[in-house]
Structure formats: C-alpha cells, structure tokens
Amino acid sequence: MKVYINGKFYSEQNAKVSVFDHGLLYGDGVFEGIRAYHGRVFKLKEHIDRLFCSARAILLDLPMTHAELMEATIETCRRNKLNDGYIRLVVTRGAGTLGLNPNRCSNPQVIIIAGKIQLYPPSLYKKGMEIVTVATTRNHHNAVNPAIKSLNYLNNILAKIEANTAGYEEAIMLNAEGYVAECTGDNIFILKDGQMFTPPLSSGALHGITRGTAIDLVAGLGISTAEPNMTRYDLYNADECFLTGTGAEIVPVVKIDQRVIGNGKPGPVTKKVVKAYQELTKVSGEPIAKR
C-alpha cells in the first residue's frame, strides 16, 4: 500500500507523522471517508466540500486547494490500483507542543489512505441488522458540534463500545433532549405509511453524503422525506428502517431494542433504495484512470 502524505507517497511501514501532532495528541483535525466503485471515486466533490466546511469550523487552514485535494485522492487510488474500495482523507493540525494551543502548531498534515473496509458482516445486508439504543448521548452542538467530521470520535466510540458489549453491531444515539440523532457511524431512516423520515441535521445527525444520496433516491421512487424530531417510539413503530453511511453504504434494520420492525425482514422500499444506490455507483463518480 502507498500512503499519501503532503505530496509524497510512502510505503505503509514508512508512512509516519510526528508524535507531537495535535491530531494524535488531541484529535485536532478533520477527515473524510470516501468510496470508490467500478473505477470511479463516488461523490468526491461533495466529500471535499464537507472537508472544507469541517476545517473552517475548527479554524484549520487546509494547505491544498479543492482541486488539488481531489487530484491527490484520485492519484492515491491510481498508485494503489484501487478500483473498488475505501479512501480515508485526513488533515491534522500538525506538530505542536504538549499544550493545547493550536497556534503553536505548524504544517498541517494531509494524509490519504486507499484500501478496503467492511464495517458489518455481509449476512446483515441480506437478513437485516438488529440495533440497540445506548446511554451515551450525542455531542451537544455547543460542545463538539456533530456537524464537524473531526478526528475526535470518542463520543461515537463510547457508544459503539456499549453496543458491542451488549452484543450488537450498531447503536442508536439520542441527543441531550432525548430525540434520535444518528447511529455511531451512520444516519438512520424509517418508512411509515408510505413516507420516509430521518432526523434533522439539527438533532445531532452528521451531514451525511450517503444520507443526501438516499433522500434523492427515495424521491426518485416518488416518496418524500420529512425531517422531524423523532423519538424511539417513532422508530419502534416504523414499517421499514435502514442506515446509511459511506463505509456502511445502505443497511436494512429489522429490530430495534428488541422491537421487530415491519415483518422482521428488509422492506421492499429499502431493497429498492439499495438497488438504486448500487446502480448509481456504477455510473457516477470521478474516473480514476487517466483520460
């Protein structure tokens, strides 16, 4: 594997950053997870757009332009001969002191890793996933804003630990008001009486790229998506449920907190959304091969 760091490519063994980097010491940085399908990088512009938004929110000046980051991402895929896979684009604050002061950091580090990912067992995509609500509350907007895709993911990891300890792959996180926010790494959708619902971004849900794609695909099926505040009651009484995320893609959910969703199998609309997503990834994205 060849890893991109600040304009150069290194072997996996030699890809290194300073132990004084604030990304390591304090989670001070931003990242994107991006997918490649069939020789194309899917939704690359949208991912880089969101990276810039996250960086702006933490007052981090990205050392490369939007176009340069897109090209570096594509070139990393080329160097690794990646046609289908997962790309992790990371920008750290750079090396600094042992203190918190970000002004003492210099040279933000741009790191791009192109490889593979499998978040959930393949069987769960066919039979559907069982998930559970956990006690860990989603970050408050005035703390670490959930809209920022930062390197500090401990909030999500704590929720994932709770889920795993309870014997589940994924967990629902509620916000400080008790409304449904999102899962540890995915956005959540439900279908009820022919209409799709997903928590509003103001609930603590990430501005998911796959979330937006799913809303568009559902609209293509003639189904509108509303974004009201939702409680667990709404989830329990859903006709269908699925999760969306770049790494996870689209995952059917068949049971929440031991409540069976619908008939306990992936629903017909969910299956249509999965198929539409797979079709879209075959024809959409930035080509990896040089033209």
Q: How far apart are CA 203 and CA 228, in angstroms?
A: 9
In the block, residue with structure tokens 């690359």: 44
Q: In sequence order, which residues have a C-beta less than 8 Å from that of residue 83 and are 6 or more positions away?
A: 36, 38, 39, 77, 288
Please list the residues that pair with 115 across neighbouring strands.
86
**Is 149 marked active-site?**
yes
Q: In sequence order, which residues have a C-beta less than 8 Å from that of residue 121 and are 6 or more positions away?
A: 169
- Enter the tokens of residue 184: 């540890």
Pairing state of beta strands 240-245 and 249-256? antiparallel
Are residues 93 and 106 in contact, defined by beta-carbon separation less than 8 angstroms?
no
- Helix, strand, or coil here: 107? coil
Q: How far apart are CA 170 and CA 211, in angstroms?
A: 17
Cα separation values, 119 from 186, 235, 246, 278, Å? 11, 23, 10, 17
Q: Which residues of 184-205 are buried (b: 16+ CB within 10 A; e: fewer)?
A: bbbbbbbbeeeebbbbebebbb
Identified catalytic residue from 2, 43, 149, 160: 149
Cα separation values, 67 from 181, 213, 265, Å? 33, 22, 43
- Helix, strand, or coil here: 163? helix
Catalytic residues: 149
